Amino acid sequence: MRQARQGTRQSRADSAFGYTLAAPQIIGFAVFGIYPLVEVFRLSTLRVNSLSGNEQFVGLDNYVRLTTDPGMPTVLVNTAFFVAVLSIVGTVLALGLALLVNQTIAGINIFRAAIFLPALISMVAWTIVWGYILQPRGLLDAFLVGLGGSPYPWLRSELVTLGILVGVQALKNVGLNMMILLAALQGVPSELKEAARVDGAGNFRIFRSIVLPEISPAILMVFMLMIVGSFKVFDVIHLLTQGGPGVSTTVLSYYVYVQAFTNNDVGYASALSVLLFGLVLVITVLVWQLRRRFVSYA
């Protein structure tokens, strides 16, 4: 009986110690995660005067406005373009580079470091450099003129500009994703590949039947990180195009910023934020549910 009481006390002490260690993280998540989320939902039902601080309850008016905003179709199409292209291209590019640098040749570490280097640079500095390259009569125009061509409005061509923005964003983070996939590639058991070669399998068959299933969890992680990151694109748009011309390069995350801090329409910006949260939640849950068809945990 005494031993049972001592065991119970020890169990409670262990639980209390565990909760104590987890408390800072739980409190931080509640203060900086749950509370802002609840506040955004509350603000989305209000009309807020940022100058006077007055708040007026308007119910679902801000959500109804989402369906009548003339800029929303373009913003949603641009957002879908960013999410689809950036997540797919970013993942495929990272996988291709990981396969390329997963070699045992002299100097390969230099190539790995060179590809990873942009991940160590701040997004603002990276975008400013690309701004000098892409600006009118910038480095890219000078290169074209040197080849006998003519300058091109790289940041004023709508679809071309969207592609450039996706490329700038993808190249910034590809090194980090490459390292994740490279670690997964180097974790594939060499015995499986050797056994497949003995059975007569070629490199492509080994990659498709052995390597790809083995690294599929890492590919899923990179893909989901790219999806979430593509919804949060901001710096590259703000610094290169400010969402223009008009809203031709504006995505949902940047539209939230414009409504909140340029138009001072906090209520509508909050409704846009709720929409953004809902889209991220739905797509990530959908991808997570589909993982069973594409990801092997064997």
If 0-12 CB within 10 Å is exposed, 13-18 middle and 19+ buried, where does residue 152 land? middle
65 vs 68: CA distance, rounded Å: 5
pLDDT in tens, 153-168: 888 887 888 999 999 9
- pTM, two decimals, is 0.86
All structural domains of the chain, each given as residue ranges with its CATH number in brackets, are: 70-294 (1.10.3720.10)
d(CA 109, CA 260): 45
Calculate mean pLDDT across residues 279-293.
88
The pLDDT confidence band at residue 114, using thresholds 50, 70 and 90, is: confident
* pLDDT tens profile 208-220: 888 888 888 899 9
pLDDT by residue (tens digit) across 22-35? 888 888 888 888 88
Length of the chain: 298
Q: Where are the alpha helices (DSSP H) in the chain?
A: 2-29, 35-43, 61-68, 72-101, 108-116, 123-134, 139-146, 159-186, 190-198, 203-206, 212-231, 235-240, 252-257, 266-294
User: What's the pLDDT band for 7 if we cut at 50, 70, 90?
Assistant: low
pLDDT of residue 297: 63
**Average confidence score pLDDT of the chain:** 86
Contact 270, 40 (CB under 8 A): yes
Distance separating alpha carbons of residues 220 and 297, to the nearest angstrom: 12
More confident residue, 140 or 50: 140
Residue 95 neighbours by CB distance under 10 Å: 22
296: helix, strand or coil: coil
3-state secondary structure of 57: strand
> Which tokens go with 227?
């999806």
